[in-house]
Structure 1
Amino acid sequence: MNSNPRQIKLLDVVRTHGSASVEQLADKLEVTLQTVRRDVQRLSEAGLLTRFHGGVRVPSSTIENIAHRQRESLNAEGKARIASAVARRIPNDCSLILNIGTTTEAIAKALLNHKGLRVITNNLNVAAILCGNTDCEVIVAGGVVRARDRGIVGEAAVDFIRQFRVDIAVIGISGIEPDGSLRDFDYREVKVAQTIIEHAREVWLAADSSKFNRPAMVELATLSQINRLFTDTAPPEPFPALLEEAGVSCEVAHI
């Protein structure tokens, strides 16, 4: 499914509070109970919410991400806007690293008309997409391939990334917590992403609105290690102050 803005806001409310009743959601979104029930039905069928009597909760835990197929459908429109905004800022003839995630895969699609790119990735989906650009050289990290999303993780991938220093690293993330920490679920993926940050002249974070206030187990970095944030809606509190304090430039990708 391609969640609409109201459904994205519904997910944000549930994620912020952990759970919510149908009545609370209707009041917060200023819609009817019937509209909320229809949205909840669609979102639960897509695996994005878990229903209980009278309400819903977030199905994902701090130790396991939701499935790749479900993440692809979650706020696909917002991710596409982010991807277009990132692509507009990436010049031709530069070196990049794109890591694991459905948002970075959307960015790869937005780069298909760029020229002279040299892209390093530990994401087989990104590699497959960018192979469609004959004016782009794609370099794929070695390591263990995670079957569920075709991400490449492990020490071999870390050692591979250490050979390079690129102009821009564009990274995705599973969650940004209110203390300014960037978090993910797989410590093996985190080790690769940390190495990517260390070996880039600039680090750009691409994160849609569902990532704010979303918990995950492993700390990857902090906002102070990021140069730019690209997102699809204005960050909620307390993130504007955190971004300003960290010196992060934030670009909201509008339609």
Structure 2
Amino acid sequence: MSLTFEDRRITILAILNEQGKVEVPALAQRLRVSAETIRRDLDRLEKEGQLKKVYGGAVPLRMELREPPFKQRMELHRAGKAAIAAYAAALVREGETIMVDHGTTMLGLLQHLRDREDVTIVTHSVPVLLAAMEHFAGKLLFAGGELNAPLQSVTGTMTERLLGQFKVHKSFLSVGGVSLENGITDYDYGEASVSRKMLECAEEAIVLADHSKIGKTTFAHIAALHEVSMIVTDAECPQEWLDRFAERSVELITAP
């Protein structure tokens, strides 16, 4: 009886972990399938963020450690982020208190909430703070702390203590990566720690992540997938990813 893809996946990843590289001919011989089947398997595993294809085989996927500057991220995937922000804003009910994480998508979320006098926002993001001071009609609470100028946010023990004083309806989290294997991660340890605190303070933790973050692992762990209520991504997220997350009973939603 021939092996299923799931069986082949286990073997491929085990060899990759042990040897640091896999080659198509050797895998085909070992698994008793065609080279074309192995190439399709490697394509699928690459889309899942499990490895990186190279000529003749595959190598481990390098973990991403550095995030582009905030201004540069503002220009990336703008349509997808706009759709995510609009969907997220529609989740905010009358009279709710929400925590808004640091990230470019959060500015879009704020734009949709600008006239909501009934909503209270708690944030540690300097760009969100400045935008809300100009345009937000509701109540605003800023969780101050140690300023990280390059990231344009505040983090640290003081920030987390302030956040810990609240219990909110929803926290909207900005992340660096969403992986089936490694869960929710971010580039900066301080940011990841604040995001974790926001998750703990909320009845619902909602991750906003455009398609470029799905299948990616970054430096600092925030939470396991089962710890968040839902993940909202954009329409460019491949259907295969949606299916894989559904298999794990993870609510990955595509914003229309």
The TM-score, its normalising length taken from structure 1, stands at 0.72
How far is 1:181 from its partner? 0.7
Separation (CA, whole Å) in 2 of partners of 1:226 and 1:243:
14
For 1:242, give the aligned amino acid.
F
Contact 2:110–2:136 (Cα < 8 Å) also in 1: no
For 1:193, give the aligned amino acid.
S
The correspondence of residues 1-255 of structure 1 with structure 2, limited to 5 A, is 62-133=64-135, 135-179=137-181, 181-233=183-235, 235-236=237-238, 237-248=240-251, 250-254=252-256
Separation (CA, whole Å) in 2 of partners of 1:149 and 1:230:
23
Contact 1:146–1:152 (Cα < 8 Å) also in 2: yes
How far is 1:221 from its partner? 0.7
Alpha-carbon spacing, 1:100–1:222, altered in 2? closer, same or farther (3 Å):
same
Specify the alignment match of 1:28 in structure 2. Answer: none
For residues 170-223 of structure 1, the C-alpha deviation after alignment (integer angstroms, 9 at most, x for no partner) is 111111123151111111111111111011001111111010122211111121
Count of residue pairs the alignment pairs up: 204
- Range 166-175 or range 225-234, more displaced: 225-234
User: How many percent identity over aligned positions?
Assistant: 22
For residues 12-39 of structure 1, the C-alpha deviation after alignment (integer angstroms, 9 at most, x for no partner) is 98x8875889xxxxxxxxxxxxxxxxxx
For 1:174, give the aligned amino acid.
G
| Larger of the two Rg values belongs to structure | 2
How far is 1:246 from its partner? 3.9
Which runs of 5 or more residues in structure 2 are unaligned? Answer: 1-45, 56-60
Separation (CA, whole Å) in 1 of partners of 2:247 and 2:141:
35
Separation (CA, whole Å) in 1 of partners of 2:189 and 2:179:
17
The TM-score, its normalising length taken from structure 2, stands at 0.72
Specify the alignment match of 1:33 in structure 2. Answer: none
Structure 2 SS opposite 1:229:
strand
For 2:66, give the aligned amino acid.
E
Contact 2:117–2:139 (Cα < 8 Å) also in 1: no
Contact 1:178–1:238 (Cα < 8 Å) also in 2: no
Separation (CA, whole Å) in 2 of partners of 1:70 and 1:61:
20
Separation (CA, whole Å) in 2 of partners of 1:163 and 1:243:
34
Alpha-carbon spacing, 1:122–1:16, altered in 2? closer, same or farther (3 Å):
same
Which runs of 5 or more residues in structure 1 are unaligned? Answer: 1-11, 22-57
